[in-house]
Amino acid sequence: MFWYIDPSHTAVNFSVKHMMVTTVRGSLGKVRGRIELDPEHPEKGDFEISATVKGINTGDARRDGHLQSADFFDAEKYPEITFKSNAVFPKGEGHYTASGDLTIREVTRPVSFDIELIGVVANAQGGQHLGAAATLTIDRTDFGLTWNMPIPNGVLVGDKVKIEVDLEALDEATAKTRGLAA
């Protein structure tokens, strides 16, 4: 069964240390993607999800502009971040690990997301909605995001970035009625 990301109910959030003393949080822009998943056998699933960099939001317009610049994501040249799964492994009680390839700035690295399959519910029109949450921590320098500035207690921006995805996807028929599937 095919599912399509509902961008109005899906978010890709991130957090990273600033000056090694506080955590800055933000979100990426519009999320899109397609999931092939039988809820009875999630381990056979396959999916690809992308988020735009242009819509990055940390609550500070200057910082958002810097993150979109060539110092970080270079949003004009590399407008999306993409994850493409290649295997899903059950961990028990609705939890899975999805391994695959994460691409940022045309740098692709293998990663594994921890996923909680929250469930499937019906809407008032008889369509279905799939809910899931996923987390991953990466080293941003592995993806060419190397800009930094030394400060007395370390560096301005931490290397470890936690990524959290809260996802809602629609069954194919519902997605077509909402213009999210062809």
pLDDT digits (tens, 9 = 90+) for 160-175: 999 999 999 999 999 9
Q: Look at residue 44 and tell me whether its pLDDT is greater than 90.
A: yes
CATH number for domain 2-177, candidates 3.40.50.720, 3.10.450.50, 1.10.260.40, 2.40.128.110: 2.40.128.110
* Mean of per-residue pLDDT scores for the chain: 96
| Structure confidence at residue 129 as a pLDDT band (50, 70, 90) | very high
Confidence of residue 153 (pLDDT cuts 50, 70, 90): confident
**How far is Cα 54 from Cα 108, in angstroms, rounded to an integer?**
19
The 10s digit of each residue's pLDDT in 53-81 is 999 999 999 999 999 999 999 999 999 99
Read off the pLDDT band of 39 (50, 70, 90). Answer: confident
Percent residues over pLDDT 90 in the chain: 97
Residue extents of the structural domains in the chain: 2-177
pLDDT score recorded for residue 114 = 98
Pairing of strands 11-18, 46-52: unpaired
Token readout for 18 is 């600033």
H-assigned helices in 138-178: 172-177
Q: Which amino acid is at 97?
A: T
**Rounded CA gap, 61 and 78, in Å?**
20
The structure's pTM equals 0.94
**Residue 146 to residue 161: CA distance in whole angstroms:** 12
Which residue in 98, 12, 25 sits closest to 52, CA to CA? 12
Round to whole Å and give the CA distance between 88 and 159. Answer: 27
Nearest to 10 by CA among 149, 181, 133: 133
Give the 3-state secondary structure of residue 65. Answer: helix
**Confidence at 133, pLDDT banded by 50, 70, 90:** very high
